Structure 1
Amino acid sequence: MHLPKMTVVGLMSGTSLDGMDIAVIDVMKDNTIDMKLKHFTTIPYDPEVKARLEVIVKPSSQSPEISSMNMLLGEVYADGILTALDEVGLEADQVDLISTHGQTIFHDPLSKSDDPYYRPNTLQIGDIGVIAERTGITTIGDFRTRDMAVDGQGAPLVPFLDYQLLKSDSTGRILVNIGGISNFTVIPKNSDGSDVVAYDTGPGNMIIDAFISWMTDGEHSYDEGGKVAASGAIDYEWLQELMEHPYYAALPPKSTGRELFGIDYAKRLWSEADMRELSYEDRLATVTALTSFTLSGSLRRHIDHEDVREIYISGGGWHNKTMMKWMKTSIPEHVHIGSSKELGVDSDAKEAIAFALFGYLGFHRQPNNLPSATGANKEVIMGKICWGSN
């Protein structure tokens, strides 16, 4: 097989942490492989970079677990994909592409002015090489980093789908997703994409799920229909204190996750509820109200300004009737509130659908981020590809 001549840069950074070995070569293949070294250099790491690397490469209680879990999740994802294909009656060779978000284990989109070596960063694990090998299907993943490379926050990404599929020429719309974190996309009528506003508003189901698990000793993982919260009373004094968290006052673009509103935050709130001697029902009602009111407060900032007449909700929060009831009390009556299913997008499948779209466009070298939502300085093609046998 003949392959055209290419100039290729090879980079290696070894365990010695000395720096970067960089080779520039010309390579082509006909019957044999022909390679010519054009240039080679070793560039040492800056002493501070090397010092920081020496800290993080030391084995710790977490580093081998993270590395191992990256591979394990690849296997888990591959098995899940093959199960789904079996359920729908498809063979792996009938599928062209897998597009995976992976599991976020850390996300910090902000720089630190007092640390010139710190960079906004994000890490999703679930190795695409393992998925491609286990399934035989070409796999694309690791989308967020490319957006961050052009000064975006790498989140939220789903607004790209919202704009492409759900915009309206007749009215402003807000597309809300309530998962672990709550976020929404504001699309003015006749939008050209540059005027879309999207951001994370704060906790969604994350704190609620942690509380219900602790309340039931792990027997339940979520408050089905919001029934437990409905049986309690909101502690409005505590709720007001919780709503003074600086994240809520920050201006978009902004994104958040477990780093701010994860298990450590939930434990702190649980301890505060203990000190207040709140019943389980009252504490669950209060953290449910936290999601409802921080979300509705953010929504109100855009309803009149963008002439919004429709709000469509997706994610697990849509099924929490108590959360929805409390959220709706703060929304003007003329605004229609419904499920994204009304627009033809399954409210539970929306995010997975979005990443299928990102993968499709990325594979075909088409831009798939929305700078007005993430704060990126330009459109880019997100995603890294690992080729399968297909």
Structure 2
Amino acid sequence: MDALLQLRRRSPRVVVGLMSGTSLDGVDAALARLSGSGTDLTVDSDGFVHVPYPKALRTLLRRNAAPESSSVRDLARLDVRLAGVYAEAVDSVLADAGRSREALDLVGSHGQTVQHLPDPANCAGEEVRATLQIGEPSTLATELGVPVVGNFRPSDMALGGQGAPLVPYFDHVTFTDPEEDRGLLNLGGIANLTVLPAGGTPDDVRAFDTGPANMVIDALAERLFDAPYDPDGQHADAGTPDHDFLADLLEGDFYRREPPKSTGRADFGADYVDHLLGAAQSRGLSAEDTMATATLLTAASVYQAYAQYVRPDQSIDVLIASGGGTHNDALMRMLRDAFAPIPVRTAADYGVDADAKEALCFAVLAHETVNGVPTNLPSVTGASRRTLLGSISVPGP
């Protein structure tokens, strides 16, 4: 524990944040120097890399993220296998910045979500909320020789929260403006929206998942075009959205639920894509029209969520997007059309790499956990109170 006590006193800290999202495409690693806490936090970004999962690993993860095909043995082995991939990602971002492991103080690892079940359900006679992220933090800490903070969601869920989204704390301390009401939109596998009132406190922050972002688009690209994603939204641009079909999709159960709410593959995974494809084919849509409709679904569901659950109480002056979806030109154009005259910009316009933002978030969350600072936001997750997020794994001497 001496190492943890020394880490508590160290400033600045060199921290790597790791994020592997619901797209199951790989792991993002962001290197940063962090000091201070809360609104006095200083974040100096020193590097970012994306390490794709090998195809065999990606296939195995997808199989085990589906309840009907998952295996306890596979999950146990993937838990260790992913820790090795995460260690490689840490080494890669350190090497890219010209640093060694000896320079590293701490790692924050989100882990790979294979199940997220935030709504209470019966388990052997008791109602429980549950979530499972794999990529064992203790294995990673032992491999790297530095403390690792992982398992960020369960403590919030133990207090009745959704355990998601987690990015709003980072949004609050890095993007809150004294005069401008801002919306922060993350376009990962799932889209989530954070609302930051001008000069607001943590209790003023609102955030929730709005529906799929890249998850459905990527799955359709693989099935329709044998590609991992739609490059620059080219296939969507070549098609015409079916607005009647879109209206039907927007009537889905998740969209009608009021926040706080979070989602994932349980709502928008393989079964959802099967249904969408079957309905598109029955309507005679081409592959390009289907992609255009699915891409518009992301943009329209974000705006619908804003219009229904945010705008009546808090309008925004600007929408700031981040995540892999910012590279989809068709999606970004659809968002700009939906939100006009509200401008839609990217995090890069504010000095934050749009691809690195989520990984940076987990560097910050790990840093604050070591500081003893609660980083869940009950106004976002629905938890009964603030709490520390994450468990700390400390390697032996």
Aligning the two structures, in what range does the TM-score lie when normalised by the shorter sequence? 0.7 to 0.9
C-alpha distance in 2, partners of 1:268/1:331? 28
> Could you list the runs of 5+ residues in structure 2 that have no partner in the other structure?
3-68
Which residue of structure 1 aligns with residue 31 of structure 2?
A: none
SS at match of 1:119: strand
Work out which of the residue numbers 329, 332, 336 in structure 2 matches 1:328: 336
Which residue of structure 1 aligns with residue 138 of structure 2?
A: 129
Which residue of structure 2 aligns with residue 244 of structure 1?
A: 251
Which residue of structure 1 aligns with residue 80 of structure 2?
A: 71
Which residue of structure 2 aligns with residue 314 of structure 1?
A: 322
Work out which of the residue numbers 360, 365, 368 in structure 2 matches 1:361: 368
1:135 Cα deviation after fit: 1.3
C-alpha distance in 1, partners of 2:126/2:235? 47
1:98-113 correspondence runs (5 A) = 98-112=107-121
SS at match of 1:108: strand
Which residue of structure 1 aligns with residue 149 of structure 2?
A: 140
1:311 Cα deviation after fit: 1.1
**How many pairs does the alignment contain?**
329
Work out which of the residue numbers 74, 86, 90 in structure 1 matches 2:95: 86
Which residue of structure 2 aligns with residue 224 of structure 1?
A: 231
C-alpha distance in 1, partners of 2:388/2:95? 31
C-alpha distance in 1, partners of 2:263/2:74? 24
1:364 Cα deviation after fit: 2.1
C-alpha distance in 1, partners of 2:144/2:368? 21
Q: Is 1:386 paired with 2:393? A: yes
1:330 Cα deviation after fit: 2.3
Which residue of structure 1 aligns with residue 272 of structure 2?
A: 265
Change (3 A) 1:213 1:112: same
Change (3 A) 1:61 1:377: closer
Native 8 Å contact 1:297 1:330 kept in 2: no
Native 8 Å contact 1:296 1:328 kept in 2: no
1:113 Cα deviation after fit: 7.4
SS at match of 2:132: strand
Native 8 Å contact 1:172 1:307 kept in 2: yes
Native 8 Å contact 2:323 2:355 kept in 1: yes
Q: Which amino acid aligns with 2:128?
A: R
Which residue of structure 1 aligns with residue 178 of structure 2?
A: 169
Q: Which amino acid aligns with 1:321?
A: D
1:182-193 correspondence runs (5 A) = 182-193=191-202
Which residue of structure 1 aligns with residue 220 of structure 2?
A: 211
Which residue of structure 2 aligns with residue 181 of structure 1?
A: 190
C-alpha distance in 2, partners of 1:351/1:215? 29
Native 8 Å contact 2:189 2:214 kept in 1: yes
C-alpha distance in 2, partners of 1:389/1:338? 45
C-alpha distance in 1, partners of 2:98/2:251? 51
Which residue of structure 2 aligns with residue 22 of structure 1?
A: none
C-alpha distance in 1, partners of 2:332/2:263? 22
C-alpha distance in 1, partners of 2:108/2:375? 13
Change (3 A) 1:112 1:129: closer
Work out which of the residue numbers 293, 296, 307 in structure 2 matches 1:286: 293
Q: Deviations over 1:227-256 (max 9, x none)?
A: 110110111221111111011111100000
SS at match of 1:109: strand
Q: Deviations over 1:256-289 (max 9, x none)?
A: 0011001221122112222222211011111111
Q: Which amino acid aligns with 2:85?
A: V
SS at match of 2:261: coil
SS at match of 1:388: coil
**Identity in percent:** 37
SS at match of 1:177: strand
C-alpha distance in 1, partners of 2:118/2:212? 17
1:299 Cα deviation after fit: 2.3
User: CA RMSD, aligned part only?
Assistant: 1.9
1:350 Cα deviation after fit: 0.5
C-alpha distance in 2, partners of 1:61/1:181? 21
1:38-57 correspondence runs (5 A) = none
C-alpha distance in 2, partners of 1:344/1:177? 16
C-alpha distance in 2, partners of 1:248/1:227? 27
Which residue of structure 1 aligns with residue 129 of structure 2?
A: 120
Change (3 A) 1:273 1:332: closer
Q: Using CA pairs below 8 Å that are at least 6 residues apart, which structure has the higher relative contact order?
A: 2
1:305 Cα deviation after fit: 3.4
> Could you list the runs of 5+ residues in structure 1 that have no partner in the other structure?
3-59
1:221 Cα deviation after fit: 0.9
Native 8 Å contact 2:234 2:330 kept in 1: yes
Q: Which runs of 4+ in 1 moved over 6 A?
A: none
Q: Deviations over 1:175-231 (max 9, x none)?
A: 0001111111011112112121100000101111011111223xx211111111011
Q: Which amino acid aligns with 2:260?
A: P
Q: Deviations over 1:25-69 (max 9, x none)?
A: xxxxxxxxxxxxxxxxxxxxxxxxxxxxxxxxxxx9601001111
C-alpha distance in 2, partners of 1:344/1:331? 22
